[in-house]
Amino acid sequence: MGVSPMSSTGVGPVAKKKKLPETRARRPCHEMGSIMLSDEVKKEIDAEARHYPQRRAVVAEALKAVQARRGWVDDESLRDVADYLGLSFDEVDSIATFYNLIFRQPVGRHVILICDSVSCYLTGYEKLLDHLKKKLGIALGQTTADGRFTLLPNACLGLCEQAPAMMIDNETYGHLTAARIDEILGKHE
C-alpha cells in the first residue's frame, strides 16, 4: 500500500497543519529559521514581479518556482516566500492551499491527475481509475511505495473532447484506455 501525501485537493487523509506557538507566529518570517530562497528563485520572482503593480500578485508563481526545485512546498519555503515578498505567512499559505497544483506534502516523482469531470465520468473515468489504482497499488491521494507516482483527482483538465483524460506532470493524455494508460505509465520512470 502507498503513502498518503495529501495534496491541497482535499482528497485522502487530512494532513494536519502544525499550529505555530503564539509567540513564534508574531515574529517576522525571517526570524523563524527559514532555509532561504536560492538566488535563482529570487531572480524568477523578481522577473515575474515586474509585470504587476503589487508583489502579492506573484505568490503563485513564486510557489511554483520553489516547487519546481524541491518537488513540493513546505512551511519553511512558505515563510521564505512570505518574507521575500513582504507578506504574512497566512497570506502565502492561503494561496498555496487554494491551488491544487501547489503540493503541500511530498509527492512522487510523477504526479498523475485524473480528470473526474462530467465528460470524463461519462466516458469511463470509474473503470480507468480502478485500473490505475490496481496497477499502482494505491488509492487517490496516495503515493506508490517506490515514490514513483502520486495519484490525484482533478476537476477538469479542459480536454472534454478527448475524454477520458489525465495529466502526468505537465503532459496531458486523452482518449484513454487501460492499455493506453499502461503504455503511458511505462514512459515515466
**CATH for 36:** 1.10.10
Residue 17 lies in a domain: no
Extract long-range pairs of 31-34: CB within 8 Å, 24+ residues apart.
Answer: 32/79, 33/76, 34/76, 34/77, 34/79, 34/80, 34/83
Residue 31 lies in a domain: yes
**Rounded to a whole number, what is the largest CA-CA distance in the chain?**
56
* Domain-ending residue, one of 78, 98, 118: 98
- My answer on whether 144 and 170 are in the same domain is yes
Residue 6 lies in a domain: no
* Domain-ending residue, one of 64, 98, 132: 98
Residue 28 pLDDT? 36
Per-residue pLDDT of the chain (189 residues), as tens digits, is 554 444 444 443 333 333 333 322 323 333 334 457 999 999 999 999 999 999 899 999 999 999 999 999 999 999 999 999 999 999 999 999 999 889 999 999 999 999 999 999 999 999 999 999 999 999 999 999 999 999 999 999 999 999 999 999 989 999 999 999 999 999 998
> Between β-strands 110-115 and 142-143, what pairing exists: parallel, antiparallel or unpaired?
unpaired
Residue 142 is part of a domain; what is its CATH number?
Answer: 3.40.30.10
How many structural domains does the chain have? 2
Residue 81 lies in a domain: yes
Cβ within 8 Å of residue 179, ≥6 positions away: none
Residue 23 pLDDT? 28
* Domain-ending residue, one of 33, 65, 98: 98
Residue 61 lies in a domain: yes
Residue 74 pLDDT? 95
Domain extent for 138? 110-186
Residue 3 pLDDT? 47
Residue 35 pLDDT? 54
Residue 32 lies in a domain: yes
Helix/strand/coil (H/E/C) assignment for every residue in 110-124: EEEEEECCHHHHHCC
Residue 30 pLDDT? 38
